[in-house]
Structure 1
Amino acid sequence: MQNLDAFFLLRPDVTFLNHGSFGACPRPVFEEYQRWQLQLESQPVAFLDPARGLSGWMRDARVAMAGMLGTAPDNIVGLTNATYALNIVAQSLDLKPGDEILTTDHEYAALEKTWAYVCRNTGAVIKTVAVPLPLTDEAQFTDAILAGFTDKTRVLFLSHITSATALVFPIERAVAEARKRGIYTVIDGAHTPGHIPLNLDALDADFYAGNCHKWIMAPKGSAFLHVRPALQAMINPLVISHGWTEDAKLPGTKGVFGNTPFIDGLEMQGTRDPSAWLTVPAALQFRADHDWDKVAKACQRLAQDTAARVRAFTGLPALSSATFCAPQMVSMPVPRCDPAQLKTRLYDDYQIEIPCFDWQDHTIVRVSVQGYNTETQMDHLVTALTEILPQLSAKT
């Protein structure tokens, strides 16, 4: 596998195996980010005036991103992160007491809190279904979801790629069935863009949010929200500012700055630095320049090989078949131990940055592999685990 570590700014003394949390930005992309920031600081008034360039630059990023996502530029809006985007959706839905939000036991903790907050304010309730493990068949997942639908289900909230378990959920049939029943579909795609192929128009979910700072490798603070055109008028900004218009929900209304009310209302929310979002085209170009599909395939092989080596050592089964495992991110069950101690030992003794945590009745080490990682680093991880795990598991 070609190593591209020279393109990244990561500390050379740390074995960085946690791309999945916040990503890592390549040096040329980061330099483009700084160029935008310098342009902002050189003339802030001109830069932040939508009529003097900003609105067009924001659209340029939407156009570049939309091509990757299989949708139209006016169906997406650039935001700071997927959690923020999904909060916009969750707090825009007109939920009533007793309405059910159906979700799974694999969801991201911050979004579990988001829905708990919404339920506290609306009287809606969360209903959680367990996804059978190991996940080896699409019907396992879809049947579990469909069995959870009731006549009170108003929202289906799913991760496309899960955070804790690093599974790719086959959401297509569940989304289609929810549409037939008049159930809103809200998809957390935080780990998906740049990780697996996406065609949002074909998926036809009502709401879909994704991060660009993870697998697309744009700077932190770049993400998008996709909303089906028929539902864009129902979206309410969390912050009401210059981009909002009181006529936003009337058919045919133009936005304040010439875009749709959906875009202007969410993009133009007070003073903020939009440089991360404006750098998305450069991140996409970096991927194209370095044949990132080929790089990603090599990363997938390295991730799967590493997980197989850990399984051979621990004797513990995988959480899914390869079909439903995130290509470049694998959650590897290890013998039960204190995950905080394991994480500390891996970092302090071996300088390995990797997440370790408990999920349900599993202790998990989640490895992410990106173009800057090497086989030598994976050897280092396997060696560290073989040395530390017998010591820690003996204490439990």
Structure 2
Amino acid sequence: MPCNADNERHWQVIAQGYDLEPGPINLENGYFGRMSREVLAHYQAHVAFINRSNSVHVRQRFEQGENVAIRKLLAQLLDAEPDAVAFTRCASDALQSLIRNYNRLQPGDQVLISDLEYDTVKGAMRWLARYRDVEVIELAHAHPASFESLLQTYRDAFTRYPRLKLMALTYVTHRTGLVMPVEAIATAAREHGVDIILDGAHALGQIEFNLARLGIAFAGFNLHKWIGAPLTLGFIYIAPERLADIDPDMGEFHYPATDVRARTPYSTPNIPALMTLPQVFEEHRALGGAAAKGARMNYLRNLWVSQVRALPGVEVLTSDDPRLYCAITAFKFVGRDQQLMAQRLLEDYNLFTTTRVGAAFGTCIRVTPGLLTSAADINVLVEAITELNTG
């Protein structure tokens, strides 16, 4: 198995670099990730330093060069050009900016979302209907999903709705962890003249990808999920040759129209968090990057899914096709109140999970291991699901 994915001792050593608050076993690591003890120390030191130096350092050093160097490091992480990325507070901010400033829509055009998109993205696309006089097409994906069924759903939509110009696509769906076949969908979309805005919030850090190879020109990402950065850090990606298709945000003038940074609101960012990113990126690479993290998360995911999928009262909602899953996987107790069952996981077995709603298949329980999750933790989950299924 690659990257020591099943080597508990290896990952136990890594876990020792993190502080963990006593409490339930956390299987809800999809909300945001932890900073390591070393990253946290750097962040706290930067907070203290900026608090002492205030604008003297920020105006003279950070704005004049440090932020440029950090942006270059971000671009290297993404295998992109520095002029393709700009920092935001989170993926949602980046995606909202891309949606509201996309300038190729005309009244009567159509835009596309599915039931698996993030609610903020759905809301932003529906906003276009009110303010750009476009029609929103909303799809519900067939369940259970397969690579071909997902792709065919979009192929059918491109044929059925010839006025489609723009679509949202979530790389890793936050409800179930389903990994969309982005490259295949992007190829089909391109054949029909449909642009994609990609939600990569959960992909960066656990999936290896190249945006140019995927055929993606517009995307938003988080740095506080699987990369291990402080909260309040994300970024926008716009392929340089497509920059003119996204207007400066609400007439933003602090940067020229030829600068991707004009596509985000100008404000005072979390400077200490940005200053911590070189340490974050170095640590991410030292751990083996997305290849190692993804392999470990997939191992832990498969460890519990393989033992509960066959239970008659349990439905695992995420495919076992290795192209279509990652750390996050959702399930439901058939015919039960999922919120109540999640509460029983917590109260009876000390397992913290979360429920997700909004998909066509209804409410589900989302399970997301993290870097500090052990195989022993997963065994507790398997025991809990098995016993609750019969109880």
TM range (shorter): 0.7 to 0.9
Range moving further from structure 2, 319-328 or 210-219: 319-328
Instruction: Answer yes or no: is 1:66 the counterpart of 2:75.
Output: yes
Structure 2 residue runs of 5 or longer lacking an equivalent are 1-7
| Residues 243 and 268 in structure 1, CA contact (< 8 A), matched pair in contact too | no
CA deviations on 1:142-169 (whole Å, 9 max, x unpaired) are 2210211232111021111111121111
Q: How far, CA to CA, are the matches of 1:10 and 1:235 in structure 2?
A: 42
TM-score by length of 2: 0.87
Instruction: Answer yes or no: is 1:291 the counterpart of 2:288.
Output: yes
Instruction: Answer yes or no: is 1:202 the counterpart of 2:213.
Output: yes
Equivalent in 5, 21, 25 of residue 15 of structure 1: 25
Partner letter of residue 164 of structure 2? Answer: T
Range moving further from structure 2, 189-198 or 321-330: 321-330
| Residues 144 and 317 in structure 2, CA contact (< 8 A), matched pair in contact too | yes
The verdict on how the C-alpha distance between 1:241 and 1:132 changes in structure 2, with shifts beyond 3 A counting, is closer
Partner letter of residue 287 of structure 1? Answer: H
- Tell me the equivalent position of 1:279: 276
**How do 1:308-319 residues align onto structure 2 when only pairs under 5 Å count?**
308-313=306-311, 314-316=313-315, 318-319=317-318
- Tell me the equivalent position of 1:355: 354
Deviation at 1:315, TM superposition (A): 4.9
CA deviations on 1:10-56 (whole Å, 9 max, x unpaired) are 3232211111121222221122222222222112212332x532352
Secondary structure of 2:198's counterpart equals strand
- Tell me the equivalent position of 1:187: 198
Structure 1 residue runs of 5 or longer lacking an equivalent are 249-259, 392-396
Q: How far, CA to CA, are the matches of 1:206 and 1:291 in structure 2?
A: 27
The verdict on how the C-alpha distance between 1:174 and 1:357 changes in structure 2, with shifts beyond 3 A counting, is closer
Q: How far, CA to CA, are the matches of 1:323 and 1:267 in structure 2?
A: 35
- Tell me the equivalent position of 2:368: 368
Name the count of aligned residue pairs: 375
Partner letter of residue 344 of structure 2? Answer: R
Deviation at 1:6, TM superposition (A): 2.3
Range moving further from structure 2, 293-302 or 120-129: 293-302
Secondary structure of 1:147's counterpart equals helix
- Tell me the equivalent position of 2:237: 226
| Residues 342 and 356 in structure 1, CA contact (< 8 A), matched pair in contact too | no
| Residues 108 and 162 in structure 1, CA contact (< 8 A), matched pair in contact too | yes
The verdict on how the C-alpha distance between 1:221 and 1:237 changes in structure 2, with shifts beyond 3 A counting, is farther
RMSD: 2.4
Q: How far, CA to CA, are the matches of 2:384 and 2:244 in structure 1?
A: 53
Q: How far, CA to CA, are the matches of 1:387 and 1:55 in structure 2?
A: 60
| Residues 104 and 129 in structure 1, CA contact (< 8 A), matched pair in contact too | yes
Same amino acid, percent of matched pairs: 23
TM-score by length of 1: 0.86
- Tell me the equivalent position of 2:5: none
CA deviations on 1:301-343 (whole Å, 9 max, x unpaired) are 1211111222133453553133233322212233232222223
Partner letter of residue 80 of structure 1? Answer: R
Q: How far, CA to CA, are the matches of 2:38 and 2:167 in structure 1?
A: 39
| Residues 294 and 327 in structure 2, CA contact (< 8 A), matched pair in contact too | yes
